[in-house]
Amino acid sequence: MKESPLEDGPSPDESRTLARLIVQVADRARDRFTTAIEPLGLPVPIARTVLLLTHPMPLREIADQLGCDPSYVTTLADRLEDRGLARRVTGEDRRVKLLEPTPAGLELQKRIAAAVGGSAAFARQLPAADRQVLSALLERLLED
């Protein structure tokens, strides 16, 4: 290797390979999620939102958690309401609207959680120690 000991950064090629790997694994995780909830007959964004809604939550916070635009959260909230899974309640600050899960929403949330955490659980092929290492490395990648 011609690299100096101080030049520890990844080569363009290594960097790309690693990024591709990560994306592949993430795609698989997503597929797993999609497959797990399929029997429930829910669109993925709906399921993701229901999963978030452990308590009444400002639409704005939902946008942050989902990493999407507030206007899209309006759409999502409408769809959850249409399905009877949540309802909007006005916050103390009257500009804010909280999305509050209905009993049906909470029940569904449990079913989704059971489905995605069930027999097809992610990373079940890694021993606990390795999962911990992986987790730590990923967190460092997020620090940036």
Q: Does 60 bind DNA (CB under 7 A)?
A: yes
CB nearer to DNA: pick between 3 and 93: 93
Helices (DSSP H) in 42-102: which residue ranges?
Answer: 44-52, 59-66, 70-82
CB nearer to its own copies: pick between 15 and 90: 15
Distance, CA of 88 to CA of 77 (rounded, Å): 8
Distance, CA of 123 to CA of 135 (rounded, Å): 11
Q: Which of 53, 73, 86, 116 contacts DNA by CB under 7 A?
A: 73
State the DSSP string of 88-119: EEE-SSTT-EEEEE-HHHHHHHHHHHHHHHST
Residues forming contacts to DNA in the complex (CB under 7 A) are 43-45, 58-60, 63, 67-75, 77-78, 88, 91, 93-98
Residues forming contacts to its own copies in the complex (CB under 8 A) are 8-19, 21-30, 32-33, 67, 113-114, 116-118, 121-128, 130-131, 133-135, 137-144
